[in-house]
Structure 1
Amino acid sequence: MPDRVPQCDVSVAQFQAEFDQRGYGWWAVGVQATGAFIGFAGLDQVDDGMPFTGVEIGWRLARSACGQGYATEAALTVLAHGFDTLGFSEILAVTTATNLRSQVVMRRIGMTRNPVDDFDDPTAPEGPLRANVLYRIARSARV
């Protein structure tokens, strides 16, 4: 039987290759006091087929890490890298209309939403994950 590469190894290799190529991508997020891995945060190109283009910030944390300020801290670090190091003039964020926790983080880091920009994700099946909201922040507006 051939050796199988775990899916997480494949994902990490892809993240690293994209980061090396573009200068941005996904970073591991850990708890400084313990070194525990709790998720990831970073920047990515908006997926093809969306009704807008640009660079998108994102984060995904373990449920046990939610509500402790880690997403906000990581997102502020990512924004600083995007604006100060990479020189982006605007960064976007997208989430489902029902993901209120992420929307709180988006507002906390200074992003704003215009309901005119909200959209149905063409890649999502009919249901609660289809309706999405779009937040934006310009370099000049950061907190």
Structure 2
Amino acid sequence: MRIHLETGRLVLRRFTTEDADLLLELDADPEVMRYLTGGRATPREEVEQRILLLYFSYYRRFPALGYWAALERTTGEFLGWFEFRPPDDERPDEVELGYRLRRSAWGLGYATEGARALIGKGFTEPGVERVFAVTMAVNQGSRRVMEKAGLRHVRTFFQDWPEAIEGSEHGEVEYALERAEWHARRRGPR
């Protein structure tokens, strides 16, 4: 079992308790948090007492999946993170893809590169049958990443949020890709 993954430009590895400050810095950027919290930063207590503990619980339950710190391969600079994990224990074969990157890494292809690597890992190793991702309908940047990673739009839906953020009135979108479809694309036309 690999607990890290390398691409041409990225190293994806498990988080440690020493990564709390990196997560705090990432979540302190209002633009990074725009479609998640309306721009509010994540408090230190939440990172240390909830978020990191959540990450660690996924490592115990699903050793090959979970949350991945994304580092630039040549410099080791922290760029953000990816999630590739089942949202619940009932469907471990259905995995959610997500990503949060520093603004300085936006538009450079890192999100697509990391997403493709995790999808490839999921569909070449046993266990994952479906990958899906969700974002706000107005989050065009994230939607482009999902499309470039090979996912297709499957639905638009509306949720009741305790605090609406700008754009939430347009709903959420789900993109997805099935294992069989991914393998068929890799084989190409016959």
Confirm or deny: 8 A CA contact 1:26 1:41 kept in the other structure: yes
1:16-60 deviation digits (Å, cap 9, x = unpaired): 22122123111000111110001000223347xxxxxx4211000
Q: Quick one: which amino acid aligns to residue 54 of structure 2? A: Q
Corresponding residue number in structure 2 for 1:50: none
Question: Per-residue deviation at 1:103?
Answer: 0.7
Question: Per-residue deviation at 1:86?
Answer: 4.1
Confirm or deny: 8 A CA contact 1:90 1:137 kept in the other structure: yes
Q: Quick one: which amino acid aligns to residue 65 of structure 1? A: A
Aligned residues: percent identity?
Answer: 30
Confirm or deny: 8 A CA contact 1:42 1:75 kept in the other structure: no
Confirm or deny: 8 A CA contact 1:43 1:58 kept in the other structure: yes
Task: Indicate which of 97, 112, 120 corresponds to 2:158.
Answer: 120
1:89-108 deviation digits (Å, cap 9, x = unpaired): 11111010011011111111
Cα separation, partners in 2 of 1:65 and 1:78, compared to 1, 3 Å: same
TM-score of the superposition, structure 2-length normalised?
0.61
Structure 2: gaps of 5 or more residues: 1-19, 21-43, 89-93, 186-190
Confirm or deny: 8 A CA contact 2:153 2:174 kept in the other structure: yes
Cα-Cα RMSD: 2.2
SS of alignment partner, residue 107 of structure 2:
coil
Confirm or deny: 8 A CA contact 1:110 1:141 kept in the other structure: no
Task: Indicate which of 81, 86, 90 corresponds to 2:130.
Answer: 90
How many residue pairs get matched?
131
Structure 1: gaps of 5 or more residues: 48-53
Pair 1:59 & 2:83 matched: no
Q: Distance in 2 between matches of 1:74 and 1:40?
A: 9
Q: Distance in 2 between matches of 1:69 and 1:92?
A: 19
Map 1:1-143 onto structure 2 (within 5 A): 6-7=44-45, 8-10=47-49, 11-23=51-63, 24-46=65-87, 54-114=94-154, 117-123=155-161, 125-126=163-164, 127-130=166-169, 131-142=171-182
TM-score of the superposition, structure 1-length normalised?
0.80
Confirm or deny: 8 A CA contact 2:58 2:85 kept in the other structure: no
